[in-house]
Amino acid sequence: MSPDLRNQLAKKEREVKAVITISQIISQDIPLPAMLDRVSAEIALLLNAPFCAVLIRHDSTLHIKGSFGLSAEYVDVINRQSNQHGWITALPSSQAFNGSKPIFWEDVRTAPEFADFQDAVLNQGYVTMIAAPLIVGEKHIGTINCYYTSRNTFSEAELSLLTTLANHTATVIRNKQLLDALNQSVNELSALNRQLDTQHELLLQSEAIHQQLTRLVLEEEGLAAVVTTTADLLNRPVALYDARLQLIAHSASHPQTAPNIKLLPQLQRHQQQSPPLTPLLSDFDEQPVSITPLVVRRRTLGYFAVVAIPPISTELEQRALEHASTVCTLELVKQRVSLDTNRRMRGDFIDDMLLGRFTDAAELKRRAAYFKFSFESDFRVLVVDIHGFGRYIELHNLSEGEVEEIKHSLATTTEQVCRELKKATFVAQQGDRVVVLWPMRHPQTLTRLQTLAEILSERMAAGWPDLMLTVSVSTPISNPLRFSDAHRECLDALAIVKRFGRTRPIVVFDALGIYALLLRSSAVEDLQRFSRRLLAPVLAHDRAEDLLHTLSVALRHQLSPQKSAELLFVHPNTVKYRLNQLCELLDVDLHDAEQMLEVQLALLIHSLTPAE
Evaluate if residue 288 carries a pLDDT over 70: yes
The pLDDT tens digits for 29-74 are 778 888 889 888 888 888 889 999 999 888 778 889 999 999 999 9
Asked whether 213 and 227 are in contact (CB, 8 A), the reply is no
**Which residues, including other chains, have CB under 8 Å from residue 591's CB and lie 6 or more apart?**
559
- Determine the 3-state secondary structure of 141 from DSSP: strand
Neighbours of 288 (CB within 10 A): 14
Q: Is the pLDDT of residue 2 over 60?
A: no
CA distances to 57, 84, 129, 244 from 410, rounded to whole Å, are 78, 75, 95, 11
**Domain boundaries in the chain?**
3-183, 223-336, 358-520, 522-612
Stated length of the chain: 612
pLDDT for residue 566:
86
User: Does 3-183 carry CATH code 3.40.605.10?
Assistant: no
| Residue 224 banded pLDDT, cuts 50, 70, 90 | confident
Q: Note the CATH architecture for domain 358-520.
A: 2-Layer Sandwich (3.30)
Q: If 0-12 CB within 10 Å is exposed, 13-18 middle and 19+ buried, where does residue 191 land?
A: exposed
Least confident range from 2-16, 435-449, 517-531: namely 2-16
Q: What is the CATH superfamily name and number for domain 522-612?
A: PucR C-terminal helix-turn-helix domain (1.10.10.2840)
Do 223-336 and 358-520 show the same overall fold?
A: no
Q: pLDDT tens digits for 293-346? A: 888 877 788 888 888 777 777 777 788 778 888 888 888 888 888 888 888 898
Fold topology of 223-336: Beta-Lactamase (3.30.450)
SS3 63: strand
For 242, residues 6+ apart whose C-beta sits below 8 A from its C-beta are 248, 301, 302, 303, 412
Task: Write out the E strands in 390-493.
Answer: 426-430, 433-439, 469-473
CA separation for the pair 486, 463 (Å, rounded)? 31
